[in-house]
Amino acid sequence: MSIFPSISIPQSIIFELRYNYGYEYLDHTGKVINEIISRPGWNVSNAQTGFTSLLNTDEEIRFTFGPQKLDLVQRLSEKNKELSPIDHIARLCDDLSLIIIRQFNLQQYLRIGFRVHQLFKADNLEQAKEYVKALKIFTTNLPGETIEEVNYTIVVSGKEWKSRIAIAPTELMVEIDPATLKAAQMETHKLPKGQKEAFMQKMKAKKIIEALPLYAVLVDIDSYVEDPPIGELKIMDFVKNTYTASLEKAKKYLGG
User: What pLDDT, on a 0 to 100 scale, did the predictor assign at position 81?
Assistant: 77
Residue-level pLDDT at 54: 97
Please tell me the distance from the alpha carbon of residue 12 to that of residue 15, in angstroms, as a whole number.
10
Would you state the pLDDT for residue 238? 97
Beta strands 8-19 and 52-56: pairing type? unpaired
pLDDT, position 245: 95
At residue 16, the pLDDT reads 98
pLDDT of residue 255: 59
CB 107 within 8 A of CB 196: no
**Cα gap 29→164, rounded to integer Å:** 32
What are 60-94's pLDDT values in tens digits? Answer: 999 999 999 999 999 987 777 789 999 999 999 99
Question: Are the beta carbons of 81 and 5 closer than 8 angstroms?
Answer: no
Half-sphere exposure in the Cβ direction for 74 (13 Å, CA): 22
What is residue 179's predicted lDDT score, i.e. its pLDDT?
Answer: 60
pLDDT of 1 reads: 44
Positions of the chain with pLDDT lower than 50, given as ranges = 1, 3-6
Sheet with 69-75, strands from edge to edge, namely 42-47, 52-56, 61-65, 69-75, 8-19, 109-121, 215-226, 162-171, 152-157
